[in-house]
Structure 1
């Protein structure tokens, strides 16, 4: 088993959408995906717009229905093998809470960008260095992806590593947010599946 945490602000739009997409697209692998918000609206469901987007992207209704927002606490950062923030500010807040998680915390668009710079063979080899358990392999993969920081050119606009916050904004902004998130999820799923292919 391996564990992922996604983090945004209110835990009602971006991070639950990311978590539900990861859960759906990593099935049937033995993975636990949780989410939280740096200013999480306790027990709130996803916004209706986020639910609509999730269903359009193939997430089952029972997956979206079970989500309840939670406020990010330091204890939530202990067990995940990799942590995906929605923005650089969220990543900074995570690392301030748990400095030891710096190398395993990324914005999800940053992780995708860095992972895409590595070949399938490089991704598999990095996971092999972690051993045989899914958790150890994902942690080793994350370390290899983190090592690309400084080697891969950053985006011309640093905001391209962020997913825009649609909360309280137009349907078009929700669609923009999802259009930024989904390709990053797809690249992330590809890397994770390569990492744990020998232990599926």
Structure 2
């Protein structure tokens, strides 16, 4: 199940897209943390993680409070610049991870076929938390990511749905420091499960 990205072109890699609103807090945090973890698993750049915003502050760097928390977690935002979400960007992804269910809906409106490979970050963590590796583990990165997406999508409706509070990552922009802390904690609590599921089967 490919969104038309590099795997569809016969390349062994895969593309993951993270999405929020402004593309300066939540989605770059998700992007850079997940990229670093997948680079460790598959090798640098084999799985490409990029981000975009539904109402992006195009050209802006990562928001400083979010950046400080990203760096405190051991990751880097070097070179990051916000960009706007487009149907072409969505179509080129093999997996889309959104900050909230609302973003997931906006992604699907932009490119309806993407609904089958779009999840909130925390939703995907929940869906794969007890999913046996043999249910999706595959050879190269592209095959592996597509198989995981298919297996996770197949579990929708078979598990009690998460509440919005449990499915979404809170928007901290222009809010107090405690909200940024909550955002960081929500991303970091979901990251290990998502990174492990997307990582090499023998990693």
Normalising by structure 2, what TM-score?
Answer: 0.88
Q: What does 1:49-60 correspond to in 2, within 5 Å?
A: 49-60=65-76
Query: Does the 8 Å CA contact 2:144/2:198 hold for their aligned counterparts?
Result: no
Q: What does 1:84-103 correspond to in 2, within 5 Å?
A: 84-103=97-116
In structure 1, stretches of 5+ residues that fail to align are: none
Q: Look up the match of 2:160.
A: 153
Distance 1:133 1:26 in 2: 13
Q: Look up the match of 2:133.
A: 123
Secondary structure of the 2:155 match is coil
Calculate the aligned-residue CA RMSD, in Å.
Answer: 1.4
Shift of 1:19: 0.3
Distance 1:77 1:136 in 2: 19
Query: Does the 8 Å CA contact 1:3/1:32 hold for their aligned counterparts?
Result: yes
Shift of 1:123: 2.8
Shift of 1:159: 2.4
> Which runs of at least 4 in structure 1 moved beyond 3 Å after TM superposition?
none
Distance 2:150 2:176 in 1: 37
- Are 1:73 and 2:86 matched, yes or no? yes
Shift of 1:83: 0.5
* Alignment deviations for residues 74-107 of structure 1 (CA, whole Å, 9 cap, x no partner): 0001221111000000000001111111111000
Aligned length: 187
Q: Look up the match of 1:109.
A: 122
Query: Does the 8 Å CA contact 1:117/1:152 hold for their aligned counterparts?
Result: no
Q: Look up the match of 2:9.
A: none
Q: Look up the match of 2:201.
A: 197
Secondary structure of the 1:167 match is coil
Normalising by structure 1, what TM-score?
Answer: 0.89
Q: Look up the match of 1:182.
A: 188
Q: Look up the match of 2:179.
A: 173
* Alignment deviations for residues 96-132 of structure 1 (CA, whole Å, 9 cap, x no partner): 11111111100000000011031xxx3333233xxx3
- Are 1:19 and 2:15 matched, yes or no? no
In structure 2, stretches of 5+ residues that fail to align are: 1-12
